[in-house]
Amino acid sequence: MNQQFDIQTYMTKGVERVVKDILKATNKNPRESAFMLRFAKASKDASRKRKFAQDKGWHIPPFLIASITSQCNLHCEGCYSRHNHATDDGIPDSQLTAEEWLKIFQEAEKLGISFILLAGGEPMLRRDVIEAAGEMTNILFPIFTNGIFIDNKYLKLFDEKRNLVPILSIEGNKEITDARRGNGVYDKLIRSMDEFHRKNLIFGASITVTTENIREATADSFLKILYERGCKAVVFVEYVPVTEDSKNLAIGDEDRQYLHTEIDRLRRESPEMVYISFPGDEKSSGGCVAAGRGFFHINSKGGAEPCPFSPYSDINVRDTSLKHAIQSPLFRKLREGGYLLEDHVGGCILFEKKDQVEKLINDKQ
């Protein structure tokens, strides 16, 4: 264990690097660059808030993942969200309202949280929440979406509220994408990208990396398709198996090393796009940054969870503040017990140790 590792410094520098990289990636778009310059200042102000809290003995992470709905229209192969909570039904009464989410976003800004990743289900089914997020211009909201519900109204919203950044989920070429996400999804994504490009709107792409698409997902020919359509950021998400039947999709150590090598190469050779890996190489980051070390997750009903791949909660933000949710008994046990720092096989330590996490939930001490 690296006793000298400073998670606050690591995550703050990570935020600054992402902002700097996006600024470089948008330097040909004056309107987008102007927004990013303003956000860069807001991000530095947020860093000072987190540093002040740290000096007072209260760690605040710079990132938050918010699953704003459990509703989804697709049935992607091996989807963790579908396995855990996603549904085809309408919005259940138990899910947080737009007003409740806005209150969370407002507290997050006061605490110094700079990025709130909007997920689901399919987040664009909650237009009310996304419109509320658009009002919080000091926070950048990447919206991880399957892209099906992008319409003229959303395009107008993204043009007016530059802090909303769609991240379109794609698996590679047409054959690979449609095989996992459904027929016609690839063509819809390409049309949406072309429309973003015509309107000079910033967007990114998210690729769930599996044993079936790892070569295609990192191929220059595929990434060139994204770049030529104006994509500014690519997020590589290592697939986490949700059942025994889907373990064959999870990449192993050899593939993971290949992915990290390719991402390093892309950062050197193709700096016109930002490349992000999740969970990435945890050893270089001092261990897993979930459970409030670097981020935490709020599910659609308000439960505060270590991360989307570890859907366990002992506290709900409906009943407490974000600040106190970060100090939940479960989060403290995970951080202080060294569970996030241990060596492990695979890309997600909390998923691998899910039996231990469940035991911590049931432990009333």
Q: Which of 39-43, 69-73, 247-251, 339-343 has the lowest mean pLDDT?
A: 339-343
More confident residue, 45 or 14: 45
Separation of alpha carbons 69 and 122, rounded Å: 7
Q: How many CB atoms lie within 10 A of CB 27?
A: 12
Q: Are strands 274-278 and 115-119 parallel, antiparallel or unpaired?
A: unpaired
What is the per-residue pLDDT for 72?
85
Give whole-number Cα distances, 195 to 150, 302, 339, 363, in Å: 10, 34, 45, 52
- What string of DSSP letters covers 266-279? HHHH-TTSEEEEES
Q: Residue 141 — φ and ψ, nearest 5°?
A: -115, 90
Q: Which of 54-58, 71-75, 133-137, 199-203 has the lowest mean pLDDT?
A: 71-75
pLDDT per residue as tens digits for the range 246-292: 788 889 889 988 998 999 899 889 888 888 887 764 545 566 778 78
Mean pLDDT confidence for 18-33: 68
More confident residue, 159 or 40: 159
More confident residue, 40 or 244: 40
Residue 365 has pLDDT above 50, yes or no: no
- Classified as helix, coil or strand, 206 is strand
CB 108, CB 64: distance < 8 Å: yes
What is the per-residue pLDDT for 2?
42
Q: Residue 303 — φ and ψ, nearest 5°?
A: -70, 130
Q: Tokens for 364, please give them.
A: 């009333």
At 313, the amino acid letter reads: S
What is the per-residue pLDDT for 45?
92
What is the per-residue pLDDT for 352?
72
Give whole-number Cα distances, 173 to 29, 122, 272, 320, in Å: 28, 21, 21, 45
Mean pLDDT confidence for 221-246: 88
Mean pLDDT confidence for 41-56: 90
Please state, rounded to an integer, the average pLDDT across all residues of the chain.
Answer: 84
At 341, the amino acid letter reads: L
CB within 8 Å of 197: residues ≥ 6 apart: 229, 230
* Maximum distance among all Cα pairs of the chain, rounded to whole angstroms: 57
Query: 116 pairs with which residues across the strands?
Result: 64
Q: Which range, 53-67, 210-224, 304-318, has the best average confidence (pLDDT)?
A: 210-224
Q: What is the DSSP letter of 144?
A: E
Separation of alpha carbons 167 and 38, rounded Å: 21
What is the band of 135 on the pLDDT scale with cuts at 50, 70, 90? very high
More confident residue, 259 or 346: 259
Separation of alpha carbons 101 and 135, rounded Å: 12
Q: Which of 103-117, 273-287, 312-326, 347-361 has the lowest mean pLDDT?
A: 273-287
Place of tokens 């009310």: 128
Separation of alpha carbons 13 and 7, rounded Å: 10
Q: Are strands 297-298 and 304-305 parallel, antiparallel or unpaired?
A: antiparallel
pLDDT per residue as tens digits for the range 160-212: 998 999 999 999 999 999 999 999 999 999 999 999 999 888 899 999 999 99
CB within 8 Å of 176: residues ≥ 6 apart: 212, 213, 216
Q: Are strands 274-278 and 304-305 parallel, antiparallel or unpaired?
A: unpaired
pLDDT per residue as tens digits for the range 291-314: 788 889 999 999 999 888 888 899
Q: What is the DSSP letter of 303?
A: B
Q: Which fold has domain 7-48+62-302?
A: TIM Barrel (3.20.20)
- The continuous run of DSSP H or E covering 321 comes out as none
At 190, the amino acid letter reads: I
Sign of the torsion angle spanned by Cα atoms 318, 319, 322, 325: negative
